[in-house]
């Protein structure tokens, strides 16, 4: 954090932070890791101590800037206490994985203590057969899904006895800025933003002028295309497509489905599509059946999908995503044809000119009242995310990882579905708003049917 710009939240992180004025829009990520044994507590604490040194944002808390002169400030916590963030519980045994998910769902919706760094880790013992689970809870302002997996790869071991790691750096020096310091830094932040904007503008004058002179029609079309793409990203969504999944509450339920990775990849190959499109198609086929069982057929549903803009040069942590909202066709008669349609739509959105403009697009949204942004998100039907996981076995403090599920925030939608690949399994985690999805058994049956239809197409 060498300058004022680095010390403040990015606009995308600030958006996830400010939306939490509405508890239904809490941007909390929960990972539930099934382990073959209970991890060694001392080794686990050593792992996290090292991790919070390598990723200093896990030792920083958020401080609001006076008068909103700049986005909130990251401040190294002078009272950082690793033991406060790490807990251990034992369920009445012998417990099963459903019991773990029941315990985790309350964790998923509980607010963070905003006077401390925004993460928690809980070891859950008491599972049948000597197994255990690890609950990892982080605020979306700290990282996105892919960033989270990059951090995980830096922390875990690759065999049971442990993997050598480089010495951990010194922790960030504690800070205690007062209001005057924060206000002064905010002015510096504002100045750095204006200077950067001016510099980028000057740097683009000659290339832009040359393009206009040599190809005026193409330049006009390009500018119009960017403007249209920005408008598609920022346009308000005023109504739900689903006539069934309409209620929004503060109650959540977590659910999982395991899908063979090789079979889903083969299905994607047969459809000439990506694994992500095969995954989306399975969800859409399941939703077609779910609506049919509720006496209502729909032609399309709107999804929010995080599109990663992370590069190899980005630092660990932070959000490197752009949230795209777009409709997808819904039907169950021909999964392969549907997969091809979905693939074409998704790839089109991935190549939208506005995709790399995440920070610029978040800036005007941060100027709106959070309630306005919340209403835009609450008219999206569901959220879907695909996170590439580890193709090799992972170990945490002597315990082998058997499954790795990610549960993302609903952000006002009926449910979030996140696919996390691990070894040969797609670990599919659902975060359900129980107002929108009150009948888990029916929903589960429909989703499993959707995946079977795609795998067998």
How is 316-341 classified by DSSP, letter by letter? SSB--EEEEEEEEE--SS-HHHHHHH
User: Which residues in 212-232 are b (16+ Cβ under 10 Å) and which e?
Assistant: eeeeeeebeeeeeeeeebbee
Distance of CA 315 to the CA centre of its chain: 17
- Residue 50, token pair as written in the block: 């090292």
The pair of structure tokens assigned to 191 is 């100045």
**Domains of the chain, first to last:** 4-155 (3.30.559.10), 252-386+413-456 (3.30.559.30)
Strands (E) across 395-442 are located at 395-396, 399-407, 415-422, 425-433
Residue whose pair of structure tokens reads 């006895």 in the numeric block: 161
Residues 6 or more apart from 201 whose CB is under 8 A from it? none
Distance CA 187, CA 172 (A): 24
Q: Is 47 helix (H, G, I), strand (E, B) or coil?
A: helix
Angle between helix axes 275-293 and 335-350 (nearest 10 degrees) is: 120
SS3 105: helix
User: What pLDDT shows up at residue 5?
Assistant: 47
From residue 353, alpha-carbon distances to 24, 154, 228, 318, 347 in Å are 31, 33, 9, 22, 12
Helix (H, G, I), strand (E, B) or coil at 450: helix
Taking CA 174 as the corner, what is the angle to CA 168 and CA 175, rounded to the nearest 5 degrees?
Answer: 145
Element of type H or E holding 6? helix 4-7
Q: How far is CA 332 from the centre of its chain?
A: 28
Which pLDDT belongs to residue 423?
96
Tens-digit pLDDT profile for the chain (457 aa)? 444 446 788 888 888 888 888 888 888 999 999 999 999 999 999 999 999 998 888 999 999 888 778 888 899 999 999 999 999 999 997 899 999 999 999 888 888 998 999 999 999 999 999 999 999 999 988 888 888 888 888 889 999 999 888 888 898 888 888 777 787 777 776 666 666 545 544 444 444 334 434 555 554 555 566 778 888 777 778 889 999 999 999 999 999 999 999 999 999 999 999 999 999 999 999 999 999 999 999 999 999 998 887 877 777 777 777 788 999 999 988 999 999 999 999 999 888 888 888 777 787 777 778 777 777 778 899 999 999 999 999 999 999 999 999 999 999 999 999 999 999 999 999 999 999 999 999 999 999 999 999 999 8
Structure tokens, 443: 């929903």
Q: Give the pLDDT of residue 403.
A: 97
Helix axes 440-455, 335-350, angle to 10 degrees: 90
CB distance 320 to 308 below 8 Å: yes
Query: What angle, rounded to 10 degrees, do the helices at 275-293 and 261-270 form?
Result: 90
The candidate with the shortest Cα–Cα distance to 15, out of 318, 258, 350, is: 318
* CA separation for the pair 292, 294 (Å, rounded): 5
| CB-count burial class (<10 Å; 0-12, 13-18, 19+) for 388 | middle
**Rg of the chain on CA atoms, in Å:** 23
pLDDT of residue 230: 80
Across 83-111, b (16+ Cβ under 10 Å) vs e yields eebbeeeebeeebebebbbebbbebbbee
């Amino acid at each position: 954090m060498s300058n004022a710009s680095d010390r403040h939240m990015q606009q995308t992180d600030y958006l996830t932070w400010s939306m939490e004025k509405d508890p239904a829009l809490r941007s909390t990520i929960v990972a539930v890791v099934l382990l073959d044994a209970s991890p060694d507590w001392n080794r686990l604490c050593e792992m996290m101590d090292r991790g919070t040194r390598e990723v200093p944002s896990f030792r920083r808390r958020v401080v609001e800037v006076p008068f909103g002169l700049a986005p909130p400030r990251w401040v190294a916590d002078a009272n950082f206490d690793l033991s406060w963030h790490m807990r251990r519980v034992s369920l009445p045994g012998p417990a099963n994985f459903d019991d773990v998910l029941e315990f985790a769902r309350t964790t998923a919706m509980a607010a963070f203590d905003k006077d401390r760094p925004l993460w928690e880790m809980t070891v859950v013992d008491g599972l049948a057969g000597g197994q255990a689970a690890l609950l990892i809870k982080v605020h979306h302002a700290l990282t996105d899904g892919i960033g989270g997996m990059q951090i995980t790869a830096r922390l875990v071991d690759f065999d049971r006895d442990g993997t050598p790691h480089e010495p951990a750096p010194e922790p960030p020096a504690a800070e205690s800025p007062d209001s005057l310091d924060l206000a002064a830094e905010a002015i510096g932040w504002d100045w750095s933003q204006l200077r950067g904007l001016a510099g980028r503008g000057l740097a683009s004058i000659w290339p832009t002028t040359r393009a206009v002179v040599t190809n005026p029609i193409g330049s006009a079309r390009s500018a119009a295309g960017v403007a249209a793409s920005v408008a598609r990203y920022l346009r308000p969504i005023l109504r739900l497509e689903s006539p069934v999944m309409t209620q929004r509450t503060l109650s959540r339920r977590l659910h999982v489905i395991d899908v063979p990775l090789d079979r889903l990849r083969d299905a994607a190959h047969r459809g000439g599509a990506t694994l992500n499109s095969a995954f989306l198609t399975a969800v859409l086929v399941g939703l077609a059946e779910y609506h049919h069982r509720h006496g209502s057929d729909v032609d399309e549903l709107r999804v929010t999908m995080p599109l990663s803009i992370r590069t190899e040069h980005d630092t660990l942590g932070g959000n490197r995503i752009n949230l795209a909202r777009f409709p997808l066709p819904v039907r169950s008669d021909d999964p392969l044809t549907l997969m091809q349609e979905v693939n074409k739509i998704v790839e089109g959105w991935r190549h939208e000119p506005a995709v790399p403009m995440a920070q610029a697009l978040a800036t005007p949204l941060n100027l709106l009242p959070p309630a306005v942004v919340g209403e835009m998100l609450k008219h999206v039907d569901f959220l879907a995310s695909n996170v590439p996981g580890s193709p090799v076995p992972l170990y945490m403090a002597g315990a082998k990882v058997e499954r790795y599920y990610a549960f993302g925030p609903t952000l006002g939608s009926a449910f979030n579905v996140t696919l996390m690949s691990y070894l040969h399994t797609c670990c599919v985690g659902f975060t359900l708003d129980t107002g929108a999805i009150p009948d888990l058994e029916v929903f589960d049956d429909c989703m499993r049917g959707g995946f079977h239809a795609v795998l067998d197409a």
